[in-house]
Amino acid sequence: MALTNEAQGGKNLLLKLGNGASGSVTIQNSGDTLTKTAHGLLAGQKVKFSSVTTVTEITQDVEYFVVNPTSNTFQVSASQGGSPIAFASDGNATMVENFETIAGLRSTSLSLNSEPIDVTDTESDEFRELLNSAGMKSVSLSGSGVFKDKVSLKIARQLALSGEMRKWRVYTNTDGDFWEGTFKLTSMEQAGEYNAETTYSISLESSGSVSYTEAE
């Protein structure tokens, strides 16, 4: 089931997960592999390249699917579950962070937190005083819904087990406005009835700065 912003009806949050990989990639004809140290890619994720040199079997700005990833190498396929692309020569490419829709949340809660710094002292006339333009800010997201497909569910499960933080985009409306930042998937629950679809509940906590982008 494909999930789009238009399908949200203004009620759901659409989650897109970054693949966590960007930078220079070496392409080897021998083994038909792409090499990037500690790339962190998972099987089935989509990758995209901003530039490709020497080889002609892959093209810039086209999405490919990760196949047979190891710690430092991976292969790519033109289709989900397809055969690895064979390269006729060695080459180089530049990979860009690619965001892929993995889930739509129907019941949601998104909170912006700003923990204040208390500077109350004996001269505060018994009223609490807070330090202006300072404090610890964070974004928390929780909700329940459905994953796009089995690959998306597998990727989320692996992130929940590994505790690895990734960049996420949280689309809040049909206009395409979104929050973007590094989040940790802190919990993941499964529920369902025998005669209905399985739903999942997840929670995300931000790490570092979070930005909000309004669609033009």
Kindly write down the DSSP assignment for every residue of 10-30, as one continuous string.
Answer: TTPEEEEEE----EEEEEETT
Distance CA(60)–CA(99), nearest Å, equals 16
Closest by CA to 24, choosing from 96, 128, 108, is: 96
pLDDT of 92 > 90? The answer is yes
Same domain, 69 and 124: no
**Final residue in a domain of this structure, among 49, 78, 96:** 96
Same domain, 116 and 206: yes
Same domain, 125 and 208: yes
DSSP state of 61: T
Distance CA(166)–CA(155), nearest Å, equals 11
Q: What is the pLDDT of residues 28-53, one digit of tens each?
A: 999 999 999 988 888 888 999 999 99
Question: For the domain that residue 148 is a member of, what is the CATH number?
Answer: 2.30.110.20
Distance CA(96)–CA(18), nearest Å, equals 10
| pLDDT at residue 56, rounded to an integer | 94
Count up the domains in the chain and report the number.
2
Domain assignment present for 153? yes
Average pLDDT over residues 23-31: 95
Average pLDDT over residues 151-170: 89
Token pair recorded at residue 88: 């006729």
State the pTM of this model: 0.75
Where b means 16+ CB within 10 Å and e means fewer, 165-202 reads bbbbbbbbbbeeebbbbebbbeeeeeeeeeeeeebbeb
Average pLDDT over residues 200-208: 93
pLDDT band at 7 (very low <50, low <70, confident <90, very high): very low
Distance CA(206)–CA(138), nearest Å, equals 6
Domain assignment present for 80? yes
Average pLDDT over residues 148-160: 88
DSSP count for the chain of H helices, then E strands = 1, 12
Q: Which amino acid is at 193?
A: E
Q: Domain limits at 84?
A: 21-96
pLDDT band at 12 (very low <50, low <70, confident <90, very high): low
